[in-house]
Chain A
Amino acid sequence: MTTELFIQYCFAGLTYGSIYAIVAIGFNIIYNTTGIINFAQGEFVMLGGMISISLLPFMPMPLAIASAVVLTMVIGALIEIVFIRWLKDPSVLRMIIITIGISILTREAASHVWGENIRALPYFIGNEITAISILGARISPQVLVVIGVCGLMVATLGVFFKTTSVGRQMRACSANRTAAVLCGINTRNMVTFSFILSAGIGALAGCIMSPITYSQYDIGTGLAIKGFTVAIIGGLGNAGSAVIAGLLLGLIEAFSVSVVPLAFQDAIAIAILLIILFVRPHGLFGSSEAAGLKEF
């Protein structure tokens, strides 16, 4: 393998890896406040991409993306308020099935609204063939946009959870819900807020990846599985290590192309997921003691 090819694969892996990381962080945010794995997480990414593409003819791209993110956040809030907020102590099995149902409904609605066509946002800088040369490898500027925006999102989220009042309240919720209630935190609102937040970051990821990976009504399930794999590898609920795990999975996938046929690429991520689940269900970076206290 030449250096150029190596770098090329690296950037491909990092691009996909950062998207997976964002989806995984979306999983983690909701899991931390509710204990629910939101199987519809991938659908937020799809909605972000699709809505921004539909808005593009009417407004400049930054505004279209911002509106798409806001709209998806509204949808995320509605989903939580309509389907989840009023349930009293639902069992895990019930929540799994409900979020799967939400995912199917969202996807089917999207297929009726947007059809089965593959769409894409235009490239943010230049076009399909614009490329920057990095150590001999040719990298599209969009790749750098994806990696940059994802990095920025992770950093912003970190600051948000550390310094703002709402961020602290959300962390209090995930640490100990009962204690949070006793401190006067409205935990129900925090749950709604976690759905809004993860819908927002999912939608933004969906917009920035759209020029490279395209948007279609059914990309959600695949992304959800990859995102979940990453969340598991990093240790469920652990946002920081999700980033490392995401990049790791992206790189593994990118380099696997040179070993196994492309058709099996998805199977590789899932095989990794299964192996991790069997061998270290608390994740590569998670602690087994902490995992023992959780009910999966």
Chain B
Amino acid sequence: MKRLLTIAPLLAAVIAIHLLCAATGTLYYLTQMTMSAYYALLIIGLCVLMGYAGQISLGHGGFFAIGGYLSAALTTHNLEHLQDNSVISALHSFGVLQSGQDLYGGTLLVVNPWFACILAILAAVVIAYLIGIPVLKLKGHYLAMATLGFGIIIYRVVLASEYFGEADGISEVPAFVLLPGLVVSGDFAGRVQNYYIAWGLLIIGLILLLNLIDSRVGRALRAIHGSSEAADAMGVNTARFKLQTFVLSAVFAAIAGIFLTHYNGGIGPSEAGVMKSVRYVALVAVGGMAHLWGALTMGVLLNFLSLRGAFGAYDDAVFGLILILVMLYAPNGILSVRWRPRWARKKTAVEEG
């Protein structure tokens, strides 16, 4: 109940923005607000990983791409020619596959978005586990480079495989019917509806994470952040908590990828690019590493401005500049200058190494 009270202002703000846009005839802003909400979903997940568990990841664009690309590929690749295959027809009769029509009236047989969504999330979980076990043993520079490397491998694979559309990406991704009448798609008619779906999802994710960091797990994570060795000595299973947080944030990224891909009707390889992953880290840093609300507001605000084209050709440069300025002058985020996490005060022992 208490949680609902803290969420209420956000809920009010979401509705207020809708009403304001409707009143001023600027409903088109809701399109970017919807997209920003999905990006923010990824960012709050990454915020828990970076701010609370203290693990940097420069590869979350990769998980976003895994979610987006898998659901896009599964829901667009036509299995019509395999219809006589017994496995395919069995899957069809179980409702895993759905029929449809393409632009030219030809019949399509593709995976149902719900199943594609579940498969994509499962894939993200499995990959996050497999990558996370060795990667999270690393620290600092090594961890940063390893996750960066993971992101680049995903980017290269996407760019080099025909199944994922190579440099063109995948387009004409069908709408995602969540429930009858509740559709994730880029239709103009569904703009308001999609705005609320995106923000609903973001708020659910936020409540989940707020509860998580206030729980036993959250305290364990903060202990790990303070000192991994001390947490270990207190009986916290550091490896397991780090891994679980990593997987959780990967799932958030994958879900963001899945929904945004259905909303945009397509996905391109730039979504998996290094710049995207760096941008997510920048947004978490701007909001204040261990500050979910900060990450949420800055994530939505800066993504919205970027999507509106406010930065023009200097888009990447602006994010680079923000990254440097925040880290130089306000390493704990511009919204939480007074609050200092322990690691920011801790001296590094690197020089003695």
- Contact surface of A with B, Cβ cutoff 8 Å: 34-37, 83, 87, 89-94, 96-98, 100-105, 107-109, 112, 176-178, 221, 225, 228, 232, 236, 261, 263-264, 266-267, 270-271, 273-274, 277-278, 281, 293-296
Contacts and interface: CB of A to CB of B under 8 A. Distances in A.
A15 B30 CA distance: 53
B349 interface: yes
Given A177-B352, A278-B134, A96 B56 contact: yes
Interface stretch (B120-128, B138-146, B239-247): B138-146
Contacts of A35: 348, 350-351, 353
B320 A104 contact: yes
Interface stretch (B194-202, B248-256, B311-319): B311-319
Nearest to B275: A104
A273 B146 contact: yes
A225 B156 contact: no
A37 B141 contact: yes
A173 to B, nearest CB: 9
Given A92-B348, A96-B56, 7 more contacts: A112-B313, A221-B274, A232-B145, A274-B150, A277-B145, A295-B348, A296-B142
B281 interface: yes
B328 interface: yes
Given A35-B348, A100-B323, A108 B142 contact: no
A267 B155 CA distance: 9
Contacts of B348: 35, 89-92, 295
Interface stretch (B5-13, B33-41, B83-91, B339-347): B339-347
Which 9 pairs, one residue from A and one from B, show the smallest C-beta to C-beta distance? A35-B350, A104-B320, A294-B353, A263-B160, A108-B317, A101-B324, A101-B323, A278-B134, A92-B140
B72 interface: no
Contacts of B150: 274
B157 to A, nearest CB: 7
> What interface size band does chain B fall in?
35 or more
Nearest to A177: B351
Contacts of A94: 327, 331, 344
Nearest to B274: A221
A177 B346 CA distance: 18
Nearest to B160: A263
A101 B317 CA distance: 9
B148 to A, nearest CB: 7
B278 interface: yes
A98 B327 contact: yes
A101 B149 contact: no
Contact of A270 (B58, B137, B152): B152
A227 to B, nearest CB: 11
B207 interface: no
Given A277-B142, A295-B139, A97 B350 contact: no
A274 B139 CA distance: 13
B156 A264 contact: yes
Contacts of B343: 91, 93
B323 A273 contact: no
Given A97-B285, A178-B352, A225-B152, A261 B324 contact: no
A264 B160 contact: yes
Contacts of A228: 145
Nearest to B134: A278
A96 B320 contact: no
Contacts of A91: 331, 343-344, 346, 348
Contact of B319 (A34, A104, A281): A104
Given A105-B317, A264-B160, A274 B146 contact: yes
Contacts of A178: 351-352
Contacts of A93: 54, 56, 140, 343
21 contacts: A37-B141, A94-B331, A96-B56, A98-B328, A104-B275, A104-B278, A104-B320, A105-B317, A105-B321, A177-B351, A225-B148, A228-B145, A263-B159, A264-B157, A267-B160, A270-B156, A273-B149, A274-B150, A277-B146, A278-B134, A296-B139
B86 to A, nearest CB: 34
B141 A96 contact: yes
A92 B139 CA distance: 9
A89 B347 contact: yes
Nearest to A262: B160
A92 B141 contact: yes
